[in-house]
Structure 1
Amino acid sequence: MRLSSRTALAAAAVACATTLAACGSGMSDTGDDTLSVVASTNVWGSIAQAVAGDRVEVRSLITEPSADPHSYEASPLDAAAISDASLVVYNGGGYDHFVDDILDSAGDDRPAVVEAFALHESGEHSDLHAGHDHGTTGSDEHDTTEEHDRSADAPDAHGHEGHDHSGVNEHVWYDLATADAVAHAIAEQLSELDPEGAAVYESNAAAFHENLHYVSDVVEGVSKNHGGAPIAQTETIGYYLVLGAGLDDRTPTDFTNAIENGTDPSPAAIATTRQLLLDDQVRVLIYNPQTEDRISREIRSAAESSGIPVVEVFETLPEGVDYIQWQSATAESLAAALDSAS
C-alpha cells in the first residue's frame, strides 16, 4: 500500500467529527430511525448498494475515477459521516486506514462495520472459485485461509517468488469470493438493523452472488485456456485476478513493491522488467493508470512497442458502471488480451 503524509489531517478530521455532528456539519439530519451506510470507496459502496437496494442509500467517500485511495486524506465531513453511520463498509488491511482511525476514535459508539480484508483473512469465502488456487499447489506453510488462497509472500505454482507487501495483499476487491462474502455480511448487518427489510437484503445478496458467477466463469475460462501464461504487472492491484486466472507473474518483486509504495524501483529492477517486455517474455502487461508515473509509463511504452497487450485495472469504479459490470469488463479484457497474444 502507498503511504502518505496524511497523519495531521486525519487526526484533525477525527477530532472534528464530534464537533461537526454537534454544531452542524451541513449533512442532513435523517433521524434515528433512518439507516445510513457509508463505504470507503465506491467499489464497496457499489456492493453495499446492490444489497441495500431501494431501502437504504449508500454514500461512498472516494468516488473520483482518477483518485488514489492509498493517499486519500479524510476530511472532517468524512469523519462525521463515518461516525454517524449505521453501517460502515470498507476494505481494511491498511488500505483505507483513515477509516480505522475514525472508528477507533468512536470508542463504544462505533457503528456496525463490514471489513472486507478481515473476511478475506478469516477464510469466509463463498463457493465462487475465482481468486483461489484451482488445484495448483504452493507451500503448505503459507496457506493461511484453509486452502482458499496463498499468502502474498508464498511462491506461486510456477516456482516464481510472490510479492511481499509486508506479508499481505490488501486489494481484495479483485477476489470475487471475498466480494461475495462482503455482500452476505452486509445483508446480515442490515437485517439486524432493519429486520423488516431482511428478506429484501437476503434476496439482493443472493442475486449479487448469481451475477458474480458470470465473472467467475470468465476468470475460470482464462485459467482453463491460458493457465500458466507469463504476465507482468506495474503493481499488484490485480493480484487476486492473476491468482484466480492461474497466470504466472514474472515481474520482479523489487519493482512491484517499489511502485506500490510510491518509491523508485532500483535500476536493475527497472531493466529486468523492461527486458521482459522487449524480449516478449510475457504475454500481457497489467497496468494501473490511477497511480502511473514516469517509470510505469515507460514500462507501458515498452509493452506497446513490443505489441504486448495492456490490460488496465483500477482501484475505484469507472464512471457509470457497478461492481459486476466493472469486474466483468476487466475479466473479459484479460481474456481477450491473452487470446490475441496466443
Structure 2
Amino acid sequence: MRLSSRTALAAAAVACATALAACGTDTSGAGAGADDDAISVVASTNVWGSIAQAVAGDRIEVRSLITEPNADPHSYEASPLDAAAISDASLVVYNGGGYDHFVDDILDAGGEKPAVVEAFALFESGAYSDLHAGHDHGTGSEDGTENDSDTTMSDDPSHEAGDGHSHEGHDHGGINEHVWYDLATADAVAHAVADRLAELDPEGAATYEANAAAFHENLHYVADVVDRIADTHGDAPVAQTETIGHYLVSAAALDDVTPTDFTNAIENGTDPSPAAIATTRQLLVDKQVRVLIYNPQTEDRISREMRTAAESSGVAVVEVFETLPDGVDYIQWQARTAETLAAALDTAS
C-alpha cells in the first residue's frame, strides 16, 4: 500500500498552520477567509473532491489538495498550507483506510476537529445501494468514524440493502483501500456529504439532497456498463500490475489471475520475486489474459516491463488512475474507464 509514517511532518505542518491562521492567511479555498461563518469543504484528492462538488453544487466550492494527474497519493506529503486547510475546514472528505494517511495525521495532531466523511469507513459500515443490485456491498465494522446509520444510504428507502456479504479486501488478502472504484461507496459518500452539508447549511439542505439523488442516478449509467461486462465477459481472465482496480474487476465478475506475490509486492512498493515476475510475464506473453489493468501513476521498471510484454503480445492495456484526469468529473471518469474496459474485452473475445 506504500504507506509511510508522516506523523512528525503532519505535526510540524499543523504547527505552521496555526501560525498561518494567526496571521489571517486564507488557505482553505472558497468559503474561507474573512467570514468566519463561511463553509469550507476540503477533499484529500480530486476524486472525492469531485463527488463532494457534485453535491455542494453552486453553493460551496470544494477544494481538493491532490489534483495532479500524475500524482501518487500514497507518497503525498502534506504542506503547512494543506494542514491549515484541513484544520480550518468545516468538512473534510477523504479516502481513509490508510490511503491518504496525511489527513488522519493532521486531524489527530490538531485541536477541534472538523466534520468528516471518510469513504473507507462508509465502505466498511455497509455502503448499500441499488447499484449492481446483484452484487455485494459490505457489512458493518465499527471504527467510530462516520459509521452511524445516517452516514450510509441504508436510511434512504430508495436504496436497497445488499445481502450482508462483507468485503474482505482484494483477492490476495489484506485490505484494499481503493474504494473509489466501488460505485456503492461513492454513492454513500455523496449522501454522507449531503447530510453533513445540510447540518452546516440547513438552508441548502434540499439542494444537497437533490444533488446527491442526481449523482446516484448518474451512477446508474456506469453501473449498467459494468453489469454488461459481467453479463458478457463474466469470469474472463485479467491481470493487474497492482490491485487498484479490484472493485471494478469484482463488480464486472472478471477473474484476476495475477500471482499473489506479484500484486502484493507492487502494492507494498517492493520488488516481486523473480518467479512471480516470470509467471506474470508468461500470462501476458502467452495471452492467457484478455486485459492488463495498469496504473501509470505508480509505474516502475517492473510494471513497465509487464506493459511492454502485454502490448507486444496484443493484450489490451486498460489504464486506471488514482486521481481524476484533467477536464472530467467522477461520473465521466468512471464511465470512460468502464467503457474502455468493455471495449478491450469485446475486442479480445
> TM-score, structure 1 length as denominator?
0.91
Q: Deviations over 1:104-133 (max 9, x none)?
A: 1234x1000000000000013221118934
SS at match of 1:183: helix
- Check if 1:74 corresponds to 2:78: yes
Distance 1:106 1:289 in 2: 34
How far residue 10 of structure 1 moved from its aligned partner, in angstroms, is 2.5
Q: What are the Cα deviations for residues 4-30 of structure 1, in whole angstroms up to 9, with x where unaligned?
A: 464543331122222221124353614
**Separation in structure 2 between the aligned mates of residue 226 and residue 76 of structure 1, nearest angstrom:** 48
One-letter amino acid of the counterpart of residue 168, structure 2: S
Question: What is the distance in 2 between the residues matched to 1:59 and 1:324?
Answer: 18
Look up the match of 1:288.
295
Partner of 1:115: 118
Identity of aligned residues (%): 80
Residues 26/56 of structure 1: CA separation in 2 closer, same or farther (3 Å cut) = closer
Q: Are residues 1:104 and 2:111 paired? A: no
Any idea what the Cα deviations from partners look like across 1:198-236, whole Å, max 9, x if unmatched?
010000000000000000000000000000000000000
**In structure 2, distance between residues paired with 1:267 and 1:5:** 29
Cα shift readout 1:68-126 (whole Å, capped 9, x = no counterpart): 0000000000000000000000000000011011111234x100000000000001322
Given that residues 132 and 149 in structure 1 are in contact (C-alpha distance below 8 angstroms), is that contact kept between their aligned partners in structure 2? no
Aligned-partner Cα distance in 2 for 1:8–1:173: 28
Superposed CA offset, 1:23-75 (max 9, x none): 24353614122110000000000000000000001000000000000000000
Paired AA for residue 232 in structure 1: A
Report the CA distance between 1:323 and its aligned residue: 0.2
Retained in 2: the 8 A contact 1:86–1:112? yes
Q: Structure 1: which amino acid aligns with 2:282?
A: Q
CA distance in 2, matches of 1:281, 1:130: 30
- Give unpaired runs (5+ residues) of structure 2: 142-161
Contact 1:174–1:238 under 8 Å retained in 2: yes
Note closer, same or farther for the CA distance 1:106–1:6 as it changes in structure 2 (3 Å cut): closer
Q: Residue 18 and residue 189 in structure 1: after superposition, are their counterparts in 2 closer, same or farther (change >3 A)?
A: same
Q: Which of 151, 167, 191 is equivalent to 2:168?
A: 151
Change (3 A) 1:30 1:208: farther
Contact 1:130-1:219 within 8 A present in 2 as well = no
Which residue number in structure 2 is paired with residue 51 of structure 1?
55
User: Do residues 35 (structure 1) and 42 (structure 2) align?
Assistant: no
Taking a change above 3 Å as real, the CA distance of residues 131 and 174 of structure 1, as seen in their structure-2 partners, is farther
Whichever residue aligns with residue 323 of structure 1, its letter is: Y
Question: Is the partner of 1:114 in helix, strand or coil?
Answer: strand
Q: CA deviation at 1:260?
A: 1.2
- SS of aligned partner of 2:110: helix
Structure 1 segments (4+ residues) deviating >3 Å: 4-8, 24-28, 130-134, 142-150
Q: Is the 8 A contact 1:283 1:308 kept in 2?
A: yes
Match of 1:38, as an amino acid? V
* Residue 129 of structure 1, aligned match among 128, 132, 145: 132
Counterpart in 1 of 2:11?
11
Task: Pick from 270, 273, 276 the counterpart of residue 283 of structure 2.
Answer: 276
Instruction: State the alpha-carbon separation in 2 of the partners of residues 26 and 119 from structure 1.
Output: 31
Q: Are the counterparts in 1 of residues 284 and 315 from structure 2 also a CA contact under 8 Å? A: yes
| Cα 1:277–1:130 shift into 2, 3 Å | farther
Gaps of 5+ in 1: 135-139, 154-161
Partner of 1:14, secondary structure, is: helix
Q: Deviations over 1:280-326 (max 9, x none)?
A: 11100000000101100000011011100000000000000000000
CA–CA separation in structure 2 for the residues paired with 1:54 and 1:122: 30
AA matched with 1:98: F
Q: Which amino acid aligns with 1:70?
A: H
Q: TM-score, normalised by structure 2?
A: 0.89
Partner of 2:346: 339
Amino acid at match of 1:320: G
